Amino acid sequence: MTLSVSTDCLDVFPEPLLMADAGGRIVAVNRHAADLLCLQCGDQPEVTLRELAGLSAAELDSLLHCCLATTAPVPLRLSFYPAGGRALDLRCEGWRCMLGGEAAAMLRVFDEVQAASRLAELAELINRLNQECLARRNSESRLRSALAQLHDINSIRDHMLAQVSHDLRTPLNAILGMTEFMQTQPFGPLDGKYSEYIDDIHTSGDILLQLVDQVLHLAWADAHSRESSTETLADLSECLETCYRVVEPIARLRGLHIVVPRSGGMPKLRADQLLLKQILMNLLGNAAKYADRGGHIEVTLEWRKGNVLAIQVKDDGPGIPRDKLAAINSGQVARSPYVIEDSQIGFGLALSRRTAKAIGGRLDIRSAVGRGTVASLVLPPNLVEAGPLALH
pLDDT at 298: 92
Mark whether 103 and 238 lie in a shared domain.
no
Count: domains in the chain: 2
Quote the radius of gyration of the chain (alpha carbons, Å).
43
Asked whether 269 and 276 are in contact (CB, 8 A), the reply is yes
Domain boundary among 110, 134, 163: 110
pLDDT at 297: 92
pLDDT at 311: 93
List the chain residues with pLDDT less than 70: 1-8, 40-46, 84, 112-119, 162-163, 165-166, 169-170, 213-231, 263-264, 331-347, 386-392
Query: Domain holding 98: CATH number?
Result: 3.30.450.20
Structural domain that includes position 69: 3-110
Query: Domain holding 297: CATH number?
Result: 3.30.565.10
* 271 is a domain residue: yes
CA distance 85 to 106: 23
Q: Report helix angle 192-220 to 112-183, nearest 10.
A: 150
Query: Any bridge partners for residue 233, and if so which?
Result: 270
* 162 is a domain residue: no
* 224 is a domain residue: no
Residues contacting 315, CB < 8 A, separation 6+? 287, 290, 291, 295, 296, 297, 298, 372, 373
Give the residue from 374, 378, 356 showing the smallest Cα distance to 291.
374
Domain boundary among 110, 128, 150: 110
* 35 is a domain residue: yes
* 155 is a domain residue: no
Asked whether 341 and 319 are in contact (CB, 8 A), the reply is no
* 223 is a domain residue: no
Considering the entire predicted model, what is its pTM?
0.48
pLDDT at 5: 59
pLDDT at 140: 92
pLDDT at 2: 53
Asked whether 109 and 90 are in contact (CB, 8 A), the reply is yes
* 204 is a domain residue: no
Asked whether 314 and 297 are in contact (CB, 8 A), the reply is yes
